[in-house]
């Protein structure tokens, strides 16, 4: 008769408390690292999905992109930049618009044209020419003026007024959804635009008057 002896403690060692602690520590470290990476990414960038048609034809309803928050840490927003902002009337909402006027700029809208510092902007990206009028005013320090590319179907600065610099979240950068629209978000530049006044006086700043049709 063959006798089978039970395995000794040395042959089948039980998991030690030290090993259990090591596994737990590694799991916790992984969670912490994941959280740090996640938070780090969202410090410099965030995703945003276009809701509505105010940026037609440049950006479509439902189009999703990455927005660079880091870029405006190093320089201010420029005329022509597409930016995500906090809605001044309700900062819990985010809007996407194009920067039209920067601090010191003299801005007006009339006869279907946006006028900045006396020059009519050439804007091939807009849906239609604006059918409203905005009297000339000067943008005060620390504020911006933004419009949607679908000028006559956009809740933007011609309605709600100026946008404080602190309300600019970042610059639209890379669109990735839907895949057929993958690519860099098209910005605009106006290198020949006259420079804004460096320090407009309170008298020069005037008062913004909402647009009238």
Residues with a catalytic annotation lie at 54, 97
Q: Which of 185, 163, 182, 181 is nearest to 172 (CA)?
A: 185
- CA dihedral over 27, 33, 37, 40, signed as positive or negative: positive
Query: How many Å apart are CA 64 and CA 172, to the nearest integer?
Result: 10
Sign, CA torsion 209/106/133/50: negative
List, edge to edge, every strand of the sheet that includes 119-120.
119-120, 113-116, 106-110, 134-138
């Amino acid at each position: 008769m063959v006798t089978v002896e039970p395995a000794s403690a040395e042959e089948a060692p039980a998991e030690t408390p030290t090993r259990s602690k090591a596994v737990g520590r590694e799991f916790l470290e992984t969670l912490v690292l994941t959280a740090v990476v996640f938070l780090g990414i969202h410090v410099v960038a965030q995703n945003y999905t276009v809701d509505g048609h105010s940026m037609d034809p440049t950006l479509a309803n439902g189009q999703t992109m990455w927005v660079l928050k880091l870029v405006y840490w190093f320089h201010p927003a420029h005329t022509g930049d597409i930016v995500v902002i906090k809605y001044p009337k309700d900062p819990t909402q985010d809007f996407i618009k194009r920067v039209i006027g920067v601090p010191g700029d003299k801005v007006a809208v009339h006869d279907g044209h946006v006028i900045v510092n006396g020059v009519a902007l050439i804007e091939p990206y807009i849906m239609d020419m604006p059918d409203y009028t905005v009297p000339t005013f000067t943008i005060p320090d620390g504020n911006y003026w933004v419009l949607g590319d679908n000028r006559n179907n956009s809740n933007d600065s011609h309605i709600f007024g100026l946008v404080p610099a602190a309300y600019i979240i970042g610059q639209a950068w890379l669109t990735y959804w839907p895949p057929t629209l993958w690519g860099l978000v098209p910005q605009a530049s106006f290198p020949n635009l006259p420079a804004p006044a460096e320090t407009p006086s309170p008298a020069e700043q005037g008062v913004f008057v909402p647009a009238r049709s």
